[in-house]
Amino acid sequence: MTTYTAPLQDMMFVLNELADLKGVAALPGHEDATADVVQAVLEEAARLAEGVLAPLNQIGDQQGSRLEGGEVVTPEGWKQAYRTFIGAGWNGLAFEEKYGGQNLPWLLATAVQEMWHAANMSFGLCPMLTQGAVEALLLHGSPALQDVYLPKMISGEWTGTMNLTEPQAGSDLSAVRMKAVPEGDHYRLYGQKIFITYGDHDLTENIVHMVLARLPDAPEGVKGISLFLVPKLLPDGDGNAAQRNDVRCVSLEHKLGIHASPTCVLAFGDNEGAVGSLLGEENRGLEYMFTMMNLARHAVGVEGLAIAERALQQARSYARERIQGRPLGAPSADRFPIAYHPDVRRMLMTMRAKVEAMRALAYLWASAHDKAHRHAKEDERLRCQQMVELLTPVVKGWCTETGNEVTSLGIQVHGGMGYIEETGAAQHFRDARITTIYEGTTGIQANDLVGRKILRDQGQAARSFIDSLRDIDLDALDGAGRALESGIAHLEQATDWIVNAASRDPRLPAAASGYYLQMWGVVVGGWLMARAALVAQDKLKDGSGDAAFYRAKIETAHFFATHVLPQTGALLRTITEGSEASLALEPELI
């Protein structure tokens, strides 16, 4: 069974030095989020992640969730772990005290989420989806619905889901066919949804589904979609789960990974129709659903980071213990752990550097999210919201693609033992594979970055952000500073090309979008690593803190600058010279 240790020292470094925890704690309503409080919260979360959730990870993978008599049964230990989880109040960490939350910042919630997903990604998916459903209800639900559902959802007593996909629709939500028929003060829903994470389970008595559907007179396409709240059990007059609604789990998907997370096919309205309540206004459902989806996309990016951290820990531990061969340059004929072999060290350093860059990026997004919602100055709120919108597809797309790469490297470090299920390395790779797919594939994220974030304003917001990346002392970083300077210039050139190419052929930016998203991740990651190195240099000069930790920060940043940032040159050439080649052959000839 693989183990997990929360990287608390690095988490606190990123929170304090890169994500401006002090500034977030100064926001109205977040004054309690001092460094001492955050440290204490993270230590408590680490105890739960390491001692309760992580030991269930491999058990959940082996047993999986199963459908018995029309009800979903989760693996051994799952119900007890969930009771422990909600009993400590973890589900309501970032939500309003009015409904039972703790009103702590999303920045702290992001670090805690990293622990849940690293310890047990299948488990972490349940509260992740509930949090998204809570956010949608907070922003778009009526006061009456909020009073009934929010206290139980924020506590975790009830869980929430997102219901978008249908068999014929996939990612094309304009093809959604589920019907919602008005009936008095509620609606009756009829249809089927697929790929519903935790659509049914035995952890709670009630599940609150957020469902996209069409009214009878709705216009075609995405403009005719509305959002409905449909509970598994209808509440009675006292707000308690009472009568079974007309929604049921038809089947569970058999998946490559995340076996313990029940991925359901749900049928609504097989009999009298599933009773639901409209959220917000008619025909604005897709707009409202994106409230959930943007938080979920960031959370999935955190999953990419988390599973990569777990794979790094396991690969590093294995490499330090596995004795094999004598490394080049070794002073004796003794056999050494494989961690001493140069190529293994390269792989471990690649994993480490990318994990640290992902963590900094995900936490930066969360800090901007908090400031966009609570900062006293309107111009700062606007600046931070632009950053959130720009970086959302980058966090989701780059962190998950990188998570796949890091978990694959984890198997490679293990050699043949990594391909054996008993070691657990393969599970991390299998679990990570879904992250580039759900909540919008990497291609969808890349198209969002190019179409909605770059071309919408002809790259103005992007150029402003790119200019801000130069506001550090690049000269103090020597070669690493020059590498970052080149990467920033390449990103600027690629952005100009995207804008200009759209006027020649709108297909060209789309063909380049995947590489362009990757470039954003590499450059912003490199910038954050450079900032970390500058902080570490100052700490070493002052003689404060853990010298070995700060030296490792500097060397890891240098590795990122010399091994990862140079990719931007090749990416720029591929974007500007290779996009037409992607379109040269007709689909029938590929």
CB–CB of 253/247 below 8 Å? no
Specify the pairing of strand 179-183 against strand 186-197: antiparallel
Residue pair 253/150 in contact (Cβ under 8 Å)? The answer is no
Of these residues, 166, 309, 401, 439, which one is catalytic? 439
**pLDDT tens sequence for the chain (590 residues):** 579 999 999 999 999 999 999 999 999 999 999 999 999 999 999 999 999 999 999 999 999 999 999 999 999 999 999 999 999 999 999 998 999 999 999 999 999 999 999 999 999 999 999 999 999 999 999 999 999 999 999 999 999 999 999 988 767 777 789 999 999 999 999 999 999 999 999 999 999 999 999 999 999 988 999 999 999 999 999 999 999 999 999 999 999 999 999 999 999 999 999 999 999 999 999 889 877 788 899 999 999 999 999 999 999 999 999 998 887 877 776 888 999 999 999 999 999 999 999 999 999 999 999 999 999 999 999 999 999 999 999 999 999 999 999 999 999 999 999 999 999 999 999 999 999 999 999 999 999 999 999 999 999 999 999 999 999 998 898 888 999 999 999 999 999 999 999 999 999 999 999 999 999 999 999 999 999 999 999 999 999 899 999 999 999 999 999 999 999 999 999 999 999 999 999 999 99
> What are the tokens at 238?
């006292």
Closest Cα to residue 518, out of 401, 434, 435?
A: 401
For the beta carbon of residue 376, count every other beta carbon within 10 angstroms: 10
φ and ψ of 323, to 5 deg: -90, 125
Query: In CATH, what is the architecture of 159-283?
Result: Beta Barrel (2.40)
Angle between helices 106-140 and 78-87 (to 10 degrees): 90
Rg of the chain (C-alpha set):
24
Give yes or no for a contact between 22 and 93, defined as CB atoms under 8 angstroms apart.
no
- How far apart are the C-alpha atoms of 530 and 554, rounded to whole Å? 8
Active site residue 439: yes
Q: Could you state, in order of their start, the residue ranges of all structural domains in the chain?
A: 159-283, 442-589
- For the question of whether the overall pTM of this predicted structure is more than 0.75, the answer is yes
CB 449 within 8 A of CB 519: no
Whole-angstrom distance, CA of residue 168 vs CA of residue 130: 26
SS3 content of the chain, % helix, strand, coil (to 5): 65, 10, 25
Question: What one-character DSSP code corresponds to residue 457?
Answer: G
The CA distance from 312 to 307, in Å, is 9
Within 8 A by CB and 6+ apart from 31, the residues are: 25
